[in-house]
């Protein structure tokens, strides 16, 4: 399957409880997703940045040989999306310090003609209306998964509900699932969301793992037991990148195939949080990923 991701490329400033801070690092949903996915196979990237996007960040993306960045649109006179956040002591809660939307306030990027045959699609977090517009430009899309967040549930719930009828699956956090459905139990919330059309919902619970609510049943995975958590930024996007890339590689879209893909997403995300930005993802090897997956699968008897 030909995997494509649409979303954001940004410049982040991150503060951690230890007092460590990184300013101006590469971030955004597309960056994390594509970097993770590239360890499993080719991934096409569609996003927009401004002319202030540093060359060093372009060079970082170029280090991942499986990322096709032909869909990265650099707009003259525009500003790149910027975000700043501060993590609390538990590393699961954070405070947003600033958000500068930049190009996100403009029209979404164009999809290159050579990407139009993409059949495995991840619509990273953005307004559901934008997600639907991008999806409409991918006529061969067969397996489509979207991400969302609380702001879209607050201001564009009807659009999100319409989107649910057009996708195969949705990935969201447990508090977002509760906000959308009014159900505190993530399984109940997931089942209610299935009524709108998708085949499955993945509810992420941070350090407590993720739950798969599928039309054919349920599955749950814990997080990988990582001791050294430095920066959780991008963990969810990395999880999605590993999950979607494994599905694109195997073509297995059954509940069992998605569960195994979630395990790979869990493993790749466990590397991301060990340092800032894409630093860890740019240095890991297939052998290291396989070793960690083998330990995880033995722990869970995944096979």
Contact 14, 35 (CB under 8 A): no
Q: What is the pTM for the complete model shown? A: 0.93
Nearest-angstrom CA–CA distance, 155 and 126: 12
- pLDDT tens by residue, 188-227: 999 999 999 999 999 998 778 899 999 999 999 999 988 8
Instruction: Write the Ramachandran bin of 234: left for phi over 0, alpha for psi from -120 to 50, otherwise beta.
Output: left
**Domain definitions of the chain by residue range:** 3-300
Three-class HEC string of 205-253: CHHHCEEEEECCEEEEECCCCCCCCCCCCCHHHHHHHHHHHHHHHHCCC
- Please tell me the predicted confidence (pLDDT) of residue 212: 97
CATH topology of domain 3-300: 3.40.1190
Average pLDDT, consecutive stretches of 10 residues, N- to C-terminus, the chain (303 residues): 95 86 91 96 97 94 94 96 87 83 91 95 93 94 94 93 97 94 96 97 88 96 86 91 97 95 95 90 92 90 61
pLDDT digit string, tens, across residues 129-161 = 999 999 999 999 999 999 998 888 999 999 999
CA of 81: how far to CAs of 29, 59, 156, 268, in Å?
A: 11, 18, 21, 25
86/154 Cα distance (integer angstroms): 23
* Beta pairing class for 94-100 and 120-123: unpaired
């Amino acid at each position: 399957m030909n995997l494509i991701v649409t979303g954001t490329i940004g410049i982040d400033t991150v503060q951690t409880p230890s007092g460590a801070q990184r300013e101006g690092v590469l971030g955004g949903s597309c960056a994390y997703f594509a970097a993770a996915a590239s360890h499993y196979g080719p991934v096409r990237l569609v996003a927009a940045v401004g002319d202030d996007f540093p060359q060093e960040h372009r060079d970082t993306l170029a280090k991942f040989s499986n990322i096709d960045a032909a869909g990265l649109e650099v707009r003259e006179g525009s500003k790149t999306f910027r975000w700043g956040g501060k993590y609390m002591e538990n590393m699961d809660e954070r405070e947003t310090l600033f958000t500068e939307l930049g190009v996100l306030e403009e029209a979404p990027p164009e999809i290159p003609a050579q990407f139009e045959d993409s059949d495995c699609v991840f619509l990273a977090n953005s307004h559901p209306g934008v997600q639907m517009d991008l999806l409409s430009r991918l006529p061969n899309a067969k397996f489509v998964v979207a991400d969302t967040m609380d702001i879209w549930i607050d201001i564009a719930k009807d659009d999100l509900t319409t989107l649910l009828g057009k996708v195969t699956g949705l990935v969201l956090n447990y508090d977002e699932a509760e906000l959308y459905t009014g159900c505190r139990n993530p399984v109940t919330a997931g089942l209610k969301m299935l009524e709108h059309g998708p085949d499955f919902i993945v509810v992420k619970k941070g350090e407590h793992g993720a739950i798969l609510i599928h039309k054919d049943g349920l599955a749950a995975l814990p997080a990988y037991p990582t001791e050294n958590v430095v920066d959780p930024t991008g963990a969810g996007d990395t999880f999605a990148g590993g999950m979607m890339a494994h599905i694109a590689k195997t073509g297995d879209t059954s509940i069992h195939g998605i569960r195994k893909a979630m395990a790979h997403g869990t493993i790749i995300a466990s590397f991301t949080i060990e340092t800032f930005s894409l630093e860890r993802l740019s240095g890991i090897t297939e052998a290291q990923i396989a070793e960690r997956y083998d330990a995880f699968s033995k722990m869970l008897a995944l096979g």
